[in-house]
């Protein structure tokens, strides 16, 4: 158990719909990262938040948005869903304490758009 919790584990929805994925980081971790992984593809970095503020942006579509709340949990919102958005979505958290060694990943949310 990495200590990072993602909900829901599975999600099936129709094209054009909007969904929200939730990530609870490890206790004390200030940074949250979101990734998308399509079938047999690598991890695509979407966005990073640090202590409530957006810190870095990757290949995140305009239809996608995220935020980190005061309690440090984060949500990734996906709207106007398309079939190609079907993927595993991972979040990871990292601590801010001097030399930081590793990020901890959640088990992911598998999104299927039909």
Partner 1 sequence: LAKTTQPISMDSYEGQEVNITCSHNNIATNDYITWYQQFPSQGPRFIIQGYKTKVTNEVASLFIPADRKSSTLSLPRVSLSDTAVYYCLVGENYGGSQGNLIFGKGTKLSVKP
State the number of binding residues for partner 1 (CB under 8 A).
34
Strand, helix or coil at 19? strand
Rounded to whole angstroms, what are the CA distances from 74 to 14, 82, 89, 114? 23, 22, 13, 25
Cα distance between residue 13 and residue 25, in whole Å: 25
Write each residue from 61 to 100 as x if it is in contact with partner 1 (CB under 8 A), else as -, in one continuous string. Answer: ---------------------------x-x-x-xxxxxxx
Residue numbers at the binding site for partner 1 (CB under 8 A): 2, 4, 29-31, 33, 35, 42-43, 45, 48, 50-51, 55, 58, 88, 90, 92, 94-108, 110
């Amino acid at each position: 158990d990495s200590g990072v919790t993602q909900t829901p584990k599975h999600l099936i929805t129709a094209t054009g719909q909007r969904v929200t994925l939730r990530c609870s980081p490890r206790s004390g971790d200030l940074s949250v990262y979101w990734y998308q992984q399509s079938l047999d593809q690598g991890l695509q970095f979407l966005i990073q938040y640090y202590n409530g503020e957006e810190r870095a942006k990757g290949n995140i579509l305009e239809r996608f948005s995220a935020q980190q709340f005061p309690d440090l949990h984060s949500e990734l919102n996906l709207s106007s869903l398309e079939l190609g958005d079907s993927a595993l979505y991972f979040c990871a958290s990292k601590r801010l304490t001097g030399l930081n060694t590793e990020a901890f990943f959640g088990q992911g949310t598998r999104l299927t758009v039909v």
